Structure 1
Amino acid sequence: MSSFDTDVPVLLLRLDPRPVHHGALGAVRSLGRAGIEVHAVAEPARGPLGRSRYLHRMHELPAGPVSHAGLLELLRNVSEGIGRPAVLIPLDDRGAIAAARLAGPLLGRYLLPAQPAGLPERLADKAELALLCRELDLPHPATALPADARQAADAAGELGLPLVAKWSRPWLLTPSAGLRSTTLVRTRDDARRLYELTERAGSALLLQRRLPGGPDTDWFFHGCFIRGGACPIGGSGRKERAWPPRTGPTAVGRRLPDPQVERAALRLAGHLGYRGILGLDFRRDAHGRYHLLAVSPRPGARFRLFTDPSSGLDVVRALHLDLTGRPVPIADDPLPFLAMTGSWLRGGLRRGAYRMRTAPPGSTPLPARPLPARPLGVSQRP
């Protein structure tokens, strides 16, 4: 096992008011068993997370919504209590987005991966993800972003019923809104009525062609990208069961190598310069294409599936090693994954060099095009 800098504690941050999932408890246990002092900001304090023997201290969130300024003050106060810089690991999308926004003001108090500003928010936004998949030519279900209720009904007819409706920024949903992040739409009127709840949801409504589920259709990737873009621990897996059934997080998963899933994850992370822990969810269609459905810029419930049996390394331990300047050991059987990484990076450098040679003098990259109200075409290449 690698030698951890046990003088550097960890603060786990979870802002989601829903019950803590088992991935959070796994992070506490993994880091605590490595001899690292683990703190957590989460609610409720009396839940499973707060009762773990490996948690040094729970710092409870105040009741109600926490503002940007309020979270900054809370994290500063927690830092004062810890007494030395700590690795900050968000455990949900809301926490990952908040931590990235506060990276500057928290400099010197917390250690965070260096990456482009606003990247976790871009990845967690479903509308941005649809644009990103088109930019990278990654398969993604045909998606429409209606501008009014009539367009929502029309898009439902064009995409085909039943279809999937998603709120583009699900972390903005509050329990009082009474809305689910994902809904199955069965009629045009359902789509129209759902659009009329946009203001309550706090973000745009997306309508997406439904990909049928079934055995062997739901796949995922989980990994940690460190300095230089390497991914020393991670890989692909298949979701066997979910809770709630069919729509919830992975309850039972299996680690299974899949080149298409791993190649897509490397393309995405390499293109964006992503650093830190990353989870991706895919659904395989009847033609064998893996459509990217969601990206999570933080540890997920299944990260312990990718623990290296010889070193005990997992994504949260790898991140702590990397951010504290310790070497991150290469995981078991890395050669196929490293070969794939090298192939993708070499291809990316060649394409970048070609674009620089052929770009007109003084030109700048075009911004991403807005997502149209009409359905996007589905990419054909994995």
Structure 2
Amino acid sequence: MTEQGPELDRSVPALLVKVGHYPQHHGGLGVVRTLARAGVAVHAMVEAPTTPVALSRHLAGYAVYRSSGREPPGHLVDEICAIAERIGRPAVAVPTDDEAAVLLAEHADAFAPHLLLPPVAAGLPRRLASKAGLDELCRRHGTPTPRSAAVADRAALLALGREWGYPLVLKNLEAFTRLRAPVVGHTTLVRNEGALRELVADVPLSVLAQEYLPTERTEDWSTHLYCGAGGEPRVAFTGRKVRAWPPDSGVTTRAVALPNRHLLEQAVRFCRAIGYAGAADLDWRLDLRDGTYKLLDFNPRTGAQFRLFEDEHGVDVVRALHLELTGRRVPPAPQRTPRTFVVGQLDLPSMLCWVARHRRPPQAVLPRAGTERGWLSLDDPLPAVAEACWFAGTVARRLLGRTG
């Protein structure tokens, strides 16, 4: 072990594995940077040579593969195996979306010659990524979660809204159906029956309805872990989400690392109960009305904001994954604070929405010590430039779509 922490095995590369089209992903860039800075050669699946990840100076190589997530599983497995085989030696697989995590777990035998994977039960990532499956696991193991119900058609959803009342939260039910037949674009807050009728067509649905926990009476928290066999945590962190885009239900745009022993114990207890192995990103909402942390989502893979968290040895969940799968020990160490994570171009509209809602300046505007940025890095500037171009193009297309 060096003064900077445990040394990673530089002879074992890593592969960033993706299913679906999301070229602007700061989480993938974080994976590339954290492993490459530790001397590991990182390869990535990318949508184009101009994506921010593809332009990182830390990337050892990339393969252009434009997946929609609608392809047959066998096709996806063959393509990922071919990409991994070209690396020339077995690599640690780092999935950055639920579909990739599900695919890797369910076809582990096919990937075994090319990729190193945690010993997770084959069907567990799919159950955790499924909103209904997660709800069932939470109830079985006594982990609090908001009241939820899987709904198969519009009539049942309207009846549920009348029974529960509004607002109502809607989520796509399963990992792959959110790409193949999405009901909503992302976690969506529906405020009344009229809005629900406009949003949902009279067709078979794959959607989870969930009770709304009001933001003015809640706090958003997260836990990021890497667990070994049997759900034993090697590293585990907690933090609070400050802002998101879209507000209340979107991607984290600013978060702070805050040790929370009670929440950490609750997350670890659940991972042990289900025997989860691998990296995980759990979203919680603290209901201030009863003091209960309720589990909203369990992402069985690396979370986009994982670089918020590291221990005093500099080990985050991705480095812990690499250490564990290459047979190296992950030494225990306390969570490092203070640390802040910011996704700049998304945090600005989030702040403006906060001001419009509360009629006062938001907290945590200026950078502070220990700030980790999703895109900007002085030793790797091109991804931030590329993201600015992609982001400008996205905004322009949406504006033209509204005015056209």
Q: What TM-score does the superposition give when structure 2 sets the normalisation length? A: 0.76
Distance 1:177 1:217, change over 3 A: closer
2:208 and 2:231 map into 1 onto residues whose CA distance is: 32
Task: Report the AA paired with residue 134 of structure 2.
Answer: L
> Is 2:189 the counterpart of 1:153?
no
Quick check: 1:166–1:205 contact (8 Å CA) kept in 2? yes
1:222 and 1:333 map into 2 onto residues whose CA distance is: 11
Residues 70-101 of structure 1, C-alpha deviation per residue, up to 9 Å, x if partnerless? 22221222233111111111011111111112
1:305: which partner in 2?
A: 308
Task: Report the AA paired with residue 187 of structure 2.
Answer: T
> Is 2:66 the counterpart of 1:66?
no
Distance 1:62 1:213, change over 3 A: same
Aligned counterparts, 1:105-120, within 5 A: 105-120=110-125
Segment of structure 1 superposing worse, 248-257 or 209-218: 209-218
2:227 and 2:24 map into 1 onto residues whose CA distance is: 25
Residues 108-137 of structure 1, C-alpha deviation per residue, up to 9 Å, x if partnerless? 211100121111111010011111111122
Distance 1:54 1:76, change over 3 A: same
Question: Out of 101, 105, 130, which is 1:100 matched to?
Answer: 105
Residues 130-150 of structure 1, C-alpha deviation per residue, up to 9 Å, x if partnerless? 111111222211112334433
2:21: which partner in 1?
A: 17
> Is 2:137 the counterpart of 1:132?
yes
Percent of aligned positions with the same letter in both sequences?
A: 40
Task: Report the AA paired with residue 42 of structure 1.
Answer: V
SS where residue 54 of structure 2 aligns? helix
Number of paired residues? 330
1:51: which partner in 2?
A: 55
2:211: which partner in 1?
A: 209
2:157 and 2:169 map into 1 onto residues whose CA distance is: 12
Q: Over the residues paired in the alignment, what is the CA RMSD in angstroms?
A: 2.3
Quick check: 1:213–1:283 contact (8 Å CA) kept in 2? no
SS where residue 87 of structure 1 aligns? strand
Shift of 1:216: 6.1
1:350: which partner in 2?
A: none
2:187: which partner in 1?
A: 182
Segment of structure 1 superposing worse, 67-76 or 285-294: 67-76
> Is 2:300 the counterpart of 1:293?
no
SS where residue 102 of structure 2 aligns? helix
2:141 and 2:26 map into 1 onto residues whose CA distance is: 33
1:175 and 1:243 map into 2 onto residues whose CA distance is: 23
SS where residue 232 of structure 1 aligns? strand
Quick check: 1:232–1:331 contact (8 Å CA) kept in 2? no
Quick check: 1:113–1:323 contact (8 Å CA) kept in 2? yes
Aligned counterparts, 1:257-296, within 5 A: 257-285=259-287, 286-296=289-299
2:67 and 2:28 map into 1 onto residues whose CA distance is: 20
Residues 257-289 of structure 1, C-alpha deviation per residue, up to 9 Å, x if partnerless? 223321221122101111110111011112211
Shift of 1:189: 5.1
Segment of structure 1 superposing worse, 76-85 or 275-284: 76-85
Aligned counterparts, 1:226-265, within 5 A: 226-227=228-229, 229-265=231-267
- Gaps in structure 1 of 5+ consecutive residues: 335-382
SS where residue 105 of structure 1 aligns? helix
Distance 1:253 1:75, change over 3 A: same
Quick check: 2:230–2:275 contact (8 Å CA) kept in 1? no
Task: Report the AA paired with residue 298 of structure 1.
Answer: R
Residues 45-76 of structure 1, C-alpha deviation per residue, up to 9 Å, x if partnerless? 31110011111111111465433222222122
Question: Out of 17, 25, 34, which is 1:30 matched to?
Answer: 34
2:27 and 2:61 map into 1 onto residues whose CA distance is: 18
